[in-house]
Structure 1
Amino acid sequence: MTYEIFAQTDQGRVRQNNEDAVAFDPQTGLCLLADGMGGYNAGEIASGMAVTFIKQELGSWLLQAGNRASARELRRTLETCVHNVNHSIFSAACSNPDYEGMGTTLVAGVFVEGRLVLGHVGDSRCYRLRGQAFQQITKDHSLLQEQIDAGLMTPEQALTSPYKNLITRALGVEDSVLIDINEYRVELGDVYLMCSDGLSDMVPDGILAAILHASGTLQQKALKLVHAANEGGGRDNISVLLVHATEDESRRGLLSRMLGK
């Protein structure tokens, strides 16, 4: 199995700057997306710090560990990277008045062989399209999600709630942070969508699924997703990162030669 990856970020139609950050490394299967917050462009600083630091530190570790790394080791290393960058962002926010209150969400995925180790903080999301089934596989760290979990609000009511963007966890706002990390089995043909709330707040899940179902390259689908968010209002920065699990072409060629095809 091999992974095709494409990322796209857009300022949207309302914001004056882009506080999202995305990065990926095809060699290690590392994918990162962050949505920053804070005045004086501090959100850009926080999301940029998170993505840059984790890509460098976790990416280096993955290159050394290779496919030999166990899920437990990967989880521990991801937790350590998040702890360290959280401390860095928090320290920067405390030492510079312009950065006061800055923070960022994070989705961090590592695709290794046939598995995905996925960590997240905040309300940036990861969805999975498997066959006809489209599913959100992260759970928002938000006041809204807590109200849904407590039975105080239905998912339908949540769509029009004024408290959509009140998150309960973010990197850099406290001296420690808890990241949720889960492992998933990846199947051939799966498509994974990581996104900031600039996409998920503007575009219903049904339309997201329809765009991913349609024919076209990952780049074409990413551009259609961004366009749909802007057509829906574009009230926030929009970032998408798409991953498609496909058959390894080198193995397919070897098997064809062995079978005389």
Structure 2
Amino acid sequence: MSAARKTRRERVSWGVSDVGRKRKTNEDALFVDDDLGLYMVADGMGGHAAGEIASREATSTIYGMIKQALRDFGELRGPLSEARSRAACQLMESAIQAATSIIYSMAELDRQKAGMGTTISALLLLGDYGIIGHVGDSRIYRVVGESFEQMTEDHSLIAWQLKQGLISEEEAMVSPYRNVITRAVGNRDHVEVDTTVFPVEKNARFLLCSDGLHGYLRSGDIVPTVKIGGETAVRQFVDLANQRGGKDNITVILVELN
């Protein structure tokens, strides 16, 4: 298990990644940088350690691209124009597309890694606004007061079937296709990226996690655990997933705004 924590006056974050109880290796990756305001969870896939490579390469590439772009971009303050909002989304999408291209090229050069890829859920806090970039079935939740909101939509076969009314929630819980995702970073040379720009409340908290956690989460777990705060909260989330099965790698980031 590894943990990361960085501090800044406006925000503080904690991150933990755990192998779980069934897997021999951890193919998840996390990234936290409070100074930059960037947080990422990636859940890799592919044989011969390719999933681990994909998730690590994705977070590293996205970080490098965003850090460079922000030198000229500046923060988002006050009323946001449509053009500025589009530019913010483009910044995030370009970084994720760059990661997609690099991972795909790596797999082309090494056929043992063919088809490797990763999910990515990235949150960039930039002044009065947040920017989300999302591919796959990792998730970002926002908690304000006693309520929470899932801010990302799973790109998975199960999510699509539920949206189309083809299966029930109960059937989804036991479906053999729960791990089938419909979008990933790197298994093709281009990917459709969901991006969102939204105003950030002063006391908001954000939970980023791989499906190794949210596959076990119940709606009543999220707010009480997040309100515990700090490293205790993220480790409690990991313990919860392991106690309920721990079938996958478990990665959690908690971001608190002051």
Q: TM > 0.5 between the two?
A: yes
Match for residue 14 of structure 1?
Answer: 22
Match for residue 221 of structure 2?
Answer: 207
In 1: Cα distance, 2:109 partner to 2:218 partner: 40
Equivalent residue for 2:158, pick from 144, 147, 151: 144
Equivalent residue for 2:58, pick from 43, 50, 55: 50
Q: Which moved more, 1:232-241 or 1:126-135?
A: 126-135
In 1: Cα distance, 2:76 partner to 2:58 partner: 26
Structure 2 letter corresponding to 1:25? D
Q: Cα deviation per residue 1:163-220 (whole Å; 9 max; x = unaligned)?
A: 111100001111110100012221122111010000011232322332113x3x3211
Gap change, CA 1:156 and 1:115, over 3 Å in 2 = farther
Shift of 1:28: 1.7
Q: Root-mean-square deviation (CA), in Å?
A: 1.6
Aligned 8 A contact 1:30 1:59 in 2: no
Shift of 1:66: 2.7
Count of aligned pairs: 244
Q: Which moved more, 1:72-81 or 1:99-108?
A: 72-81
Structure 2 letter corresponding to 1:231? Q
In 1: Cα distance, 2:176 partner to 2:19 partner: 22
1:106 maps to 2:114: no
Q: Cα deviation per residue 1:208-235 (whole Å; 9 max; x = unaligned)?
A: 332113x3x3211001001111111111
Shift of 1:27: 1.4
Equivalent residue for 2:195, pick from 172, 175, 181: 181
Match for residue 24 of structure 1?
Answer: 32
Shift of 1:68: 5.7
**Residue aligned with 1:17, SS:** coil
**Residue aligned with 1:193, SS:** strand
Q: Which runs of 5+ in 1 are unaligned?
A: 247-261
Shift of 1:130: 1.3
TM-score by length of 2: 0.90
Q: Which runs of 5+ in 2 are unaligned?
A: 1-8, 78-83
